Each structure stands twice: as structure tokens, then as C-alpha cells.
Amino acid sequence: MAAVEAFDAVDLIRAKRDRRELTSAEIEWLVEAYTRGYVADEQMSAMTMAIFLNGMSRREIRDLTMAMIASGERMDFSGLGKPTSDKHSTGGVGDKITLPLMPLVATFGVAVPQLSGRGLGHTGGTLDKLESIPGWRAEITNDEMFAQLRDVGGVICAAGAGLAPADKKLYALRDITGTVEAIPLIASSIMSKKIAEGTSALVLDVKFGSGAFLQDIERSRELARTMVELGEDAGVATSALLTNMNVPLGRTIGNANEVRESVEVLAGGGPADVRELTIALAREMLALAGRDGEDVEGALDDGRAMDTWRRAIAAQGGDPDAELPVAREHHVVTADRDGVLVEQHALPFGIAAWRLGAGRARKQDPVQHAAGIELHAKPGDEVRVGQPLFTLSADEPERFARALEAVEGAWRIGDAGEPVQDGGPLIADRIGR
């Protein structure tokens, strides 16, 4: 005889459809019943759309997040004997910040358990980038992770299947039902994994602008506030930086390309915007971990962060000295006139890199590690006729046509004195105590 269920999914869908708040018990049952397969995908699809249209209260979002955490295991780093601090970015174009950031923060005796993901669509995945390095492994055991946190101080790896399994089911559903942008669902998805991961401090890099997940700054601010509240409610020291993604970050887009640029930053160089954001996020992570006032810039410039990077790569089977893959084919786009580059919109360049093979349309698709784009000029730079503006790289030359279609109209050369595309400052706001 089948067990009697505490609630009926249809009743809960109707309640949220009609703008009623769900109780804690209703939310806990819904997540648990969906995880074990009692609530069908069709029913959860209807619920996600009702949430997308009608929203959730702070208490409902907290209950949803905690129910998703309860669906799996929780990690505990208290035995490490040092504070932990982590970072999550909502993703963008050329966003390689995790790569130099993890070793930089770990240099100061703060453990960085950076559980990362893969790219989908125009936003790149940290694990895809690092897998450009010959031999590097994203999948490691919990024991290997703890050992690396003790010995090296930081790790970037894939999350184990046991962390928030409800989120994995729900995320796949949102992707095909037009509900990805629902702030309660974004916030609970990100924070369920980060809280279950067990870090004691968390900094959120929430993007806005043309290449961001949420383009409108006020929607991004709402998401940042919601996630900071979730972290605080769970006892995790949490803050968020609202950062600009109107223009690609740095000068490279693509997997191996972005690893090369990250190594430049760790060597004390690299593009100014990548260095600025890496330093700002490192200071924030260290401050939340009780290590305010450290010489973050000095650790980039004197090689300490680079040493930590090399040890971390080697610990996961990678060769930090290996040659990174280079694409077989290149297509250079040059300036058709003298002037100033006044526009360069992030999203089209992200889509172009994806079409070149740097990203994937489906989770199971492989990526081409050598594919991508190098930007030779950024907004505000003077250019001369015939000067290279950007280079497309791919293994198959037939990919260039569709990539060029994507960036048509995405950049513009103007006259000296003409206003340059103004996305505002790189860091627009900070949210948190």
C-alpha cells in the first residue's frame, strides 16, 4: 500500500499561481518529493513558471534553499584549522577571474574551496578553461580536495554529485522551460550549492550589462541582495560586488586563451580590468575571512600567487609549464578607417566565441579548448586603418562566417572626441554588511 503524501502538487501549484505564500512544510515536501521522483517534471515546470511570474518572499526563498541543501550532503571544513572563503560569479564574457583569484587568496593562509562549473551558451565555464592545461583533472575525491586545501591552500574542481541534487534536477528543468531568469530560483540554485559546500565566507560577483545573465543593473542588484540575505540567514559571511559586463573582461575570450591571460595576471601583468577585479574580489574574500589589510597587489607582483597556482595545477595532475593548445585557423578583422574604437558590446563577442567552438549548446557537447577571440583594441583605443581589431581562432575555418555574423554591428570606430561606450565603472556597488 502506497504511503499517503503530506500534500498534493496541484494544490501547491494553484496556490503559487494565485500568489499565496507556500508554508515551510509545503516547500520542504515539494523539493523532497520532486527529488525522489514523486512530483513530475511537468508539475515542477508549472511551479517554476508560477514562481517566475509571482515571485517568492524572503522566507520562502530561504526555505527553498534549505530544502535543496537538505536533499544532499553538506561538507565541513572546520578541521582544516584555517578560515575558508569562496567566490561565485554569475558569469560573463571573458570572465576568467577565478583562475588568478584562487591562488592569490590562498597565498594568505585562507583556504579557497572553489567548486566550479562548465560553460553553457555564451558564458564560459571555469572547468572548461582549466582543462586546456594538459593532464589537469576537474573531478577529484573529497579526500583529495581536503588534502589539497591543507597542503596548497586552494582548489578549483567540480562539485560532487552529492551536493544539492535537487538543484541539478531543477536547473535542467529551468533551462528548457523559460524560467532561468527567475531571481528566487537563481538565488536558491547558487546559494544551496555554496552553503552545502561548507565555506564560512562567500563573495558574490554579480554581473550586469550586455554580456551578463541579468542585463539590467536593478535586477542584478535584487539578485545580489537576495543571495547576501540567504548567506547571512545560513550563518555564512556574505557580500556581493555588482560588476560591469557591458564590455568583454580582459582581451581574451575562450578556454586556453583565458588561461594564458590569467597566467599573465599572476605574473604581475595582464589587462588592467582583469587585475583590478581580481584584487578587489581578493580583498573582499580576505576581509570576510578576518584577514583585512593584506598586501594583495604585492602577492601578484612578487610571484607568491604564481607559486600557489603552479602547485595547485600540479596537485590536480596538470603541467603548469605545458604548451597550451593553439587553434589551426585564424581570421583577423582590421579597422576600415582611422579613429577611436567607441563601442564593443560583450554579448555578441561571447556568442561569436561560442560559435567558434569555445562553448557548448548542450551540456554533453565537447568544447574546443583552442577556439576563441583575442581583442587587440578596447573602447577608447585609437586605431589606424588596417590595424587588427580582433582575431578569431578555430580548428575549422567554416566556423568563421557565423562568428562574424554574431559580431556584426557589435563594435564601431568613431572620430576622436566622440563619446566612448560608457558602461560605467567596473565595480558599480557593494552589497553586504
CB 66 within 8 A of CB 74: no
pLDDT tens sequence across 156-173: 998 877 888 898 889 888
Given the residues 167, 168, 283, 355, select the one marked as catalytic: 167
174 assigned to active site: yes
Give span(s): CATH 1.20.970.10, the chain. Answer: 9-55
CATH, range 329-414: 3.90.1170.30
Give span(s): CATH 3.90.1170.30, the chain. Answer: 329-414
Give span(s): CATH 3.40.1030.10, the chain. Answer: 78-322
Q: What is the pTM of this model?
A: 0.94
Whether 224 shows a pLDDT value over 70: the answer reads: yes
Residue percentage of the chain with pLDDT more than 70? 97
Whether 408 shows a pLDDT value over 60: the answer reads: yes
pLDDT of residue 359: 81
220 assigned to active site: no
Q: List, in order, residues 6 or more apart from 37 with CB less than 8 Å away.
A: none
pLDDT of residue 125: 86
pLDDT of residue 121: 66
167 assigned to active site: yes
Amino acid 200 reads S
193 assigned to active site: yes
pLDDT of residue 3: 76
pLDDT of residue 318: 97
Between CA 89 and CA 79 the distance in angstroms is 27
pLDDT tens sequence across 238-288: 999 999 999 999 999 999 999 999 999 999 999 999 999 999 999 999 999
pLDDT tens sequence across 82-119: 999 999 999 899 999 999 999 999 999 999 999 888 77
Q: What is the mean pLDDT of the chain?
A: 94
CATH, range 9-55: 1.20.970.10
Given the residues 62, 88, 221, 251, select the one marked as catalytic: 88
pLDDT of residue 2: 62
Given the residues 122, 129, 193, 369, select the one marked as catalytic: 193
pLDDT tens sequence across 56-65: 999 999 999 9
Given the residues 87, 118, 174, 360, select the one marked as catalytic: 174
Given the residues 71, 89, 132, 189, select the one marked as catalytic: 189
CB 128 within 8 A of CB 259: no
Between CA 340 and CA 419 the distance in angstroms is 10
Query: In the numeric block, which cell numbers belong to residue 104?
Result: 592569490
336 assigned to active site: no
Between CA 47 and CA 10 the distance in angstroms is 9
Which residue from 252, 321, 325, 241 is spatially nearest to 284, judged by alpha carbons?
Answer: 241
The topology (CATH level 3) of 78-322 is: Pyrimidine Nucleoside Phosphorylase; Chain A, domain 2 (3.40.1030)
pLDDT of residue 4: 87
Find the mean pLDDT for residues 220-226.
97
